[in-house]
């Protein structure tokens, strides 16, 4: 099992993601610089981490989505490569079009940083299957632009097809229909604003993130 984490200028959760992957797989994740042009063909799973790529210049995730490595990620994801993006990674995935919708400024126009209770709304996906009968998890959030938006037709399609995997119990940012995390139609690309990679150690307040990583690793 080989995994990789993409590193952008001003990423600040790339190490967290790498630690989480090593904890679950027993192997070190490969750190791939944003100016590299290709994800190695033997990589089984890619994480696009949180942070503030390019300092959120212009719009969160907009510049990172045009990085050389992301072009290759899009190509490989469209062929089935499992990809997950957390926080800024989710913003990047929407900017590429791999996931629908957009992440706008929080409704309260304030940075939100706190543990957040989430409801698992589809426990049968490649990213949630290891949770079994678990209905709720708690992940940290830390974002200023986490207000998920899509038109009603898109939202209806996401919910009807089971592509909304997590919803907020206490919506911290104004996201449409309390959406916290979604996947693409093929089920191999997933994005969420909360940070499961920061919920893998009891010393950090909880381990609810472990089963998310177990889910996708086991599916591979």
Q: Indicate the helix (H) or strand (E) that contains 18.
A: helix 14-25
Q: Indicate the helix (H) or strand (E) that contains 31.
A: strand 30-33
Let me know if 144 is a catalytic residue: no
Q: Is 165 helix (H, G, I), strand (E, B) or coil?
A: strand
**From 87, 95, 143, 183, the catalytic residue:** 87
Q: What is the per-residue burial (b if ≥16 Cβ within 10 Å, else e) of 87-106?
A: bbbbbbbbbbebbbbbbbeb
**From 34, 143, 183, 195, the catalytic residue:** 195
Let me know if 78 is a catalytic residue: no
Bridging pattern class, strands 112-120 and 136-143 = antiparallel
Q: Indicate the helix (H) or strand (E) that contains 89.
A: helix 88-96
**From 13, 95, 116, 197, the catalytic residue:** 197
Let me know if 195 is a catalytic residue: yes
- Catalytic positions, written as ranges: 87, 195, 197
């Amino acid at each position: 099992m080989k995994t990789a984490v993409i590193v952008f200028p001003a990423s600040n959760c790339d190490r967290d993601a790498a630690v989480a992957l090593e904890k679950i797989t027993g192997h070190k994740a490969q750190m791939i610089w944003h100016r590299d042009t290709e994800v190695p063909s033997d990589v089984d799973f890619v994480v696009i981490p949180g942070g503030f790529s390019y300092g959120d210049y212009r719009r969160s995730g907009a510049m990172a989505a045009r990085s050389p490595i992301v072009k290759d990620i899009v190509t490989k994801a469209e062929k089935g490569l499992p990809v997950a993006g957390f926080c800024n990674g989710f913003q990047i995935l929407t900017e590429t079009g791999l996931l629908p919708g957009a992440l706008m400024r929080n409704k309260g126009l304030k940075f939100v940083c706190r543990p957040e209770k989430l409801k698992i709304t589809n426990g049968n996906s490649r990213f949630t299957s290891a949770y079994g009968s678990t209905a709720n998890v708690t992940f940290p959030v830390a974002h200023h632009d986490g207000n998920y938006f899509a038109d009603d037709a898109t939202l209806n399609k996401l919910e009807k097809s089971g592509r909304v995997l997590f919803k907020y119990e206490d919506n911290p940012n104004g996201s449409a229909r309390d959406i916290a995390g979604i996947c693409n139609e093929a089920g191999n690309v997933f994005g969420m604003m909360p940070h499961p990679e920061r919920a893998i150690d009891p010393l950090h307040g909880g381990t609810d993130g472990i089963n998310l990583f177990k889910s996708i690793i086991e599916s591979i």
